[in-house]
Structure 1
Amino acid sequence: MQHHQSFLRAGPISIGALVVLLASIILAASLTGRFPVTAGDIAAVVVAKITGAASGVAPTVETVVWNVRLPRVGAGILVGASLAAAGAVYQGLFRNPLVSPDILGVSAGASLGAVAGIFLSLSVLAIQGLAFAGGLAAVALVYAIGAAVRERDPILVLVLAGVAIGALLGACVSLLKVLADPYNQLPAITFWLLGSLASITRQDLVSILPAVVIALVPMVLLRWRMNLMTLDDEEARALGVETRWIRMVVVAAATLMTAAAISISGIVGWIGLLVPHVARMIVGPDFSRLLPTSMLIGAGYMVGVDTLARSIAEIEVPLGILTAAIGAPFFLYLLLTTRRGWK
């Protein structure tokens, strides 16, 4: 029972307070846009879709709410929570608060898959599928290299293999950008690599939700063992934790979650690095509290940044630009002001 309660409570800030904050951000995002919509309109449309009755609002408003605003907010929640959860997992697994979800090449692999899809003029669904598959394939290759190298420090081997594979895949992406049609394909490639939720549909959410849920299950079930994974492998094994098996399962889960998220959003940086760092400062390194806190903060941050991206200028600002512009200075501020250690 104590374990259950600690998973629902995040130190000085309760999960309930973070849920209320997230709900407020979601409501503000749903009401913000060039087309005016009220909270009553949103409630009427949602109730109508659930019950099958008439909403009583104008068809244009119903279309905006159901096909544009809510799918986009939902995508922000899923993508932000997924990247933050994966970041928390990787940082704990690699015992380093400066690790982000693309450490093992998942972003580079997804980028190559999506860029290849755009280069071949495939459908949006096929591009997302290639991005997803590319991310998983890149991490599988990194893990295969790590397994082939019999080294005393498996984490170091994984990181070095990830850097090498990421650089190789990045070179392939650059080659495709050079070969792409500069008038049609190249702008689409550049826009995807900068990240955006502009063309999200309800089908996109349905397509990635199973992967996110499947990936979340082992993270939750293994949350107590994740605390022991921050120890050296010898110490963790002495405490009865099979580090190699757990590392493989958790890396697979975090990779699945990251690949699913960026397959629909493009490359969105800094969330997986910054959000777990902030969550750790709030609740400490205990993974059972760190995971839900990171997911709630990540979801709220992503929805907020996306709302900013579509409202601060006449044209939409890519998410990658905003997350870097906000995240980098804030991260430097944290580094300069915090005196609280990683452990």
Structure 2
Amino acid sequence: MQQQPKAQHAGPIAIGALAALLVAVILVAILTGRYPVMPGDIFAVVVAKLSGGESGVAPTIETVIWNVRLPRVCAGILVGASLAAAGAVYQGLFRNPLVSPDILGVSTGASFGAAVGIFLSLSVLAIQGLAFAGGLAAVAIVYAIGSIVRERDPILVLVLAGVAIGALLGACVSLLKVLADPYNQLPAITFWLLGSLASVNRADLGSILPAVLVALLPMVLLRWRMNLMTLDDEEARALGVETRWIRIVIVAAATLMTAAAVSISGIIGWIGLLVPHVARMFVGPDFSRLLPTSMLIGAAYMVGVDTLARSIAAIEVPLGILTAAIGAPFFLYLLLTTRRGWQ
């Protein structure tokens, strides 16, 4: 009973410290790379682009900052924050600390959509659109199955349906990989499934930002109801919460956010599973503090991992490999050292 006030007091401090950490990680990410960049160059280029003036920076450095590193860092912020927020929502909604954003099949649906686009040799924009639509369609099918099977626990039905649909779509992706051209299409599908921000540009950011903001709005507006959704449905309804409609709205928001992020980055695991656990260590389970904390940690982690991916070797390491290599041991550490319940 004494830990809750302490968590409430530490919440604003932790959020402020994490925001400062995110700014530091962003600065390091922009400065890191084969082309040396000074902190003053970043400020000069941003001011010049926003004001329409001259930056006084070498054209090559200006191009690297404005067209390459800044869009990539912004994409890392959006993707990391989105996956972490969706993970926090799903773990609270399904009352399970092992739930991640792909529990309802959104990631495998996006994978299938992108694989179809690559198999048909479509444009990058079309591939991203198919990935986005595939993620939404997969969750829509899962929810349709859940609405048909009403006499059982709705959460259990959704999880089991998500596992089944995810397995089916995973098999479809494997079939496309078998049928794909082994010299062009197969490497492209494999690289997309491993996750990367290497080809992200400002147009990609503009395409997913509205979806992320729209999805974030119900999470913020319903933040206090999310605390009640961690209770059993009967208890939540006794407190005046309409669990069925809130679950539909929140799942739709988290799915929209995840599908938007995955459509430009590919499949990046462990962020939605691991980050909410770390956030709870800082601020506790209260969703009004857990959501911004998870988003800050997820954004900083994603930007940091992406910086590591493009700087530790001569070739870029896929993000999915690094997030798994870092996230799995850390998750096991949390599992072995945490003595109290996840809530």
Q: Same fold (TM over 0.5)?
A: yes
Superposition RMSD in Å: 1.4
Question: What letter is aligned with 1:73?
Answer: V
Unaligned 5+ runs, structure 1: 1-5
1:241–1:46 CA distance, 2 compared to 1 (3 A): same
With normalisation by structure 2, the TM-score equals: 0.97
Question: What letter is aligned with 2:31?
Answer: L
Q: CA separation in 2, counterparts of 1:96 and 1:335?
A: 14
Query: How far off its partner does 1:202 sit?
Result: 0.5
Residue equivalent to 1:309: 309
For residues 123-162 of structure 1, the aligned pairs below 5 Å read 123-162=123-162
Task: Indicate whether 1:283 and 2:280 are aligned.
Answer: no
Query: How far off its partner does 1:9 sit?
Result: 7.4
Residue equivalent to 1:299: 299
Task: Indicate whether 1:76 and 2:98 are aligned.
Answer: no
In 1, are the aligned partners of 2:14 and 2:282 still within 8 Å (CA)?
no
Q: CA separation in 2, counterparts of 1:55 and 1:308?
A: 28
CA deviation string 1:68-114 (max 9, x = no partner): 00000000000000000000000000001110000000000000000
Residue equivalent to 2:209: 209
Q: CA separation in 1, counterparts of 2:129 and 2:10?
A: 36
Question: What letter is aligned with 1:222?
Answer: L
Question: What letter is aligned with 1:291?
Answer: L
Q: CA separation in 2, counterparts of 1:10 and 1:189?
A: 44
Q: CA separation in 2, counterparts of 1:227 and 1:301?
A: 25
Is the partner of 1:104 in helix, strand or coil? coil
Query: How far off its partner does 1:280 sit?
Result: 1.1
Question: What letter is aligned with 1:72?
Answer: R
Residue equivalent to 2:87: 87
In 1, are the aligned partners of 2:115 and 2:173 still within 8 Å (CA)?
yes
Query: How far off its partner does 1:283 sit?
Result: 1.1
CA deviation string 1:232-264 (max 9, x = no partner): 000000000000000000000000000000000
Moved more, 53-62 or 319-328: 53-62
Percent identity, aligned pairs only?
87
In 2, are the aligned partners of 1:12 and 1:282 still within 8 Å (CA)?
no
Q: CA separation in 2, counterparts of 1:300 and 1:119?
A: 34
With normalisation by structure 1, the TM-score equals: 0.97
Question: What letter is aligned with 1:47?
Answer: V
Give the 4+ runs in structure 1 shifted more than 3 A: none
Is the partner of 2:258 in helix, strand or coil? helix
Residue equivalent to 1:318: 318
In 1, are the aligned partners of 2:146 and 2:154 still within 8 Å (CA)?
yes
Residue equivalent to 1:3: none
Is the partner of 2:317 in helix, strand or coil? coil
Q: CA separation in 2, counterparts of 1:148 and 1:284?
A: 36
Q: CA separation in 2, counterparts of 1:208 and 1:196?
A: 16
Q: CA separation in 1, counterparts of 2:168 and 2:215?
A: 27
Q: CA separation in 2, counterparts of 1:22 and 1:264?
A: 21
1:11–1:340 CA distance, 2 compared to 1 (3 A): farther
Question: What letter is aligned with 2:249?
Answer: V
